[in-house]
């Protein structure tokens, strides 16, 4: 739902004064990470990108829900009530997850992992989870069941499965941008499967040009110019059918049920972790989520559904203004 259109040039290494534009991509975290950056030469750019990619893959080793050897999986496997010393990365992710879970009244909650596994099974089998299984899984869901003190944490319920899929990618983009800046790269855009963390604008430009497609490839397209923000989307793109009913990949942590109608949510925030988590929460919360985002500093959001692209009803004022001053392109434009 978000695609990148470079503001300046499309050819890697084309000169822009003393800086040149370089493009990179690599698979990680089950998706494709892409990077466009301005650097003084190819060696500087390559070293910076490799360091950023190393940071992303290191975070995958920490936060993966699929890898049994990840720090997250090992933490969840520890005996209930046993304190565990966390790495700085996992501690940061859990602390921020708690803050965002409280902010959204549980619409975002990474302890939803037990529900996630039930719905993965449902997707494979084509059969809905039973209410009994949902209710049993509920006993291990809730950030209140993860206790933290200092740099340690422990779980307070058996069977707890933490899934950081709605925040880890955004966090990885944040951390990769920090690495690029440590290597002297200020003007860069990082894309992790459609979620973006955007640095300083390209030389001579007002911002990086981003095409916002709230309803997918066939829907309307707005061109935005952004710098030093993050933007994430969630919603309609990933759905499946169980017992003849279309279900979203997004699960309401408050009920354990996959959403039956999931609008497309877009969030612009100061950092990728926040944008990533709030985009998922917005799908769960609906219009109440838009009201929440209106109260948050440096944050904008929109919530769309097929046939409903009423800017007044669907987007916060700041995002409406961005879209109103942008060019509305045709669906086929890139």
Parallel, antiparallel or unpaired: strands 264-269 and 229-234: antiparallel
DSSP, residue by residue, 239-291: EEEETTEEEES-B-TTT-PBPSS--EEEEEESSHHHHHHHHHHHHHHTHHHHH
pLDDT of residue 307: 56
Report residues of the chain scoring pLDDT below 70. 1-17, 214-216, 218, 236-238, 262, 306-313, 327-334
Q: What is the pLDDT of residue 261?
A: 72
We find that the CATH architecture of domain 71-155 is Orthogonal Bundle (1.10)
Return the CATH fold of 2-59+167-329: T-fold (3.10.520)
Domains of the chain, residue spans: 2-59+167-329, 71-155
Return the pLDDT at 14.
45
Other beta carbons less than 10 A from residue 74's beta carbon: 13
DSSP H or E segment with residue 25: strand 19-28
pLDDT tens across 171-211, in order? 999 999 999 999 999 999 999 998 999 999 999 999 999 98
Q: Residue 310's pLDDT is what?
A: 57
Question: pLDDT for 102-143, tens place per residue?
Answer: 999 999 999 999 999 999 999 888 889 999 999 999 999 999
Model's pTM, two decimal places?
0.90
């Amino acid at each position: 739902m978000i695609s990148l259109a470079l503001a300046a040039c499309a050819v890697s290494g084309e000169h822009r004064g003393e800086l040149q534009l370089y493009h990179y991509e690599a698979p990680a975290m089950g998706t494709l990470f892409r990077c466009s950056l301005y650097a003084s030469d190819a060696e500087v750019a390559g070293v910076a990108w490799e360091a950023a990619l190393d940071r992303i893959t290191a975070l995958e080793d920490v936060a993966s829900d699929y890898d049994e050897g990840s720090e997250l999986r090992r933490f969840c496997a520890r005996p209930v009530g046993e304190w565990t010393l966390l790495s700085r990365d996992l501690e940061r992710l859990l602390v921020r997850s708690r803050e965002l879970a409280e902010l959204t009244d549980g619409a975002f909650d990474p302890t939803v992992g037990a529900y996630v596994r039930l719905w993965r099974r449902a997707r494979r089998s084509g059969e809905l989870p039973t209410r009994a299984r949902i209710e049993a899984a509920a006993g291990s869901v809730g950030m209140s069941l993860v206790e933290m003190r200092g740099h340690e944490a422990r779980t307070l319920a058996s069977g707890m499965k933490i899934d950081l899929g709605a925040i880890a990618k955004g966090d990885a983009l944040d951390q990769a941008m920090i690495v690029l800046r440590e290597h002297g790269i200020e003007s860069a855009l990082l894309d992790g499967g459609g979620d973006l963390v955007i640095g300083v604008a390209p030389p001579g430009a007002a911002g990086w040009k981003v095409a916002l497609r709230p309803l997918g490839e066939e829907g309307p397209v707005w061109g935005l110019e952004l710098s030093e923000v993050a933007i994430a989307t969630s919603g309609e793109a990933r759905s499946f059918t169980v017992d003849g009913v279309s279900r979203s990949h997004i699960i309401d942590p408050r009920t354990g049920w996959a959403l039956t109608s999931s609008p497309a949510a877009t969030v612009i925030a100061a950092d990728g972790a926040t944008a990533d988590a709030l985009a998922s929460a917005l799908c769960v919360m609906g219009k109440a989520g838009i009201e929440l985002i209106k109260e948050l500093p440096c944050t904008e959001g929109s919530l769309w559904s097929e046939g409903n692209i009423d800017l007044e009803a669907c987007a916060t004022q700041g995002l409406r203004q961005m879209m109103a001053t942008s060019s509305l392109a045709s669906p086929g434009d890139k």
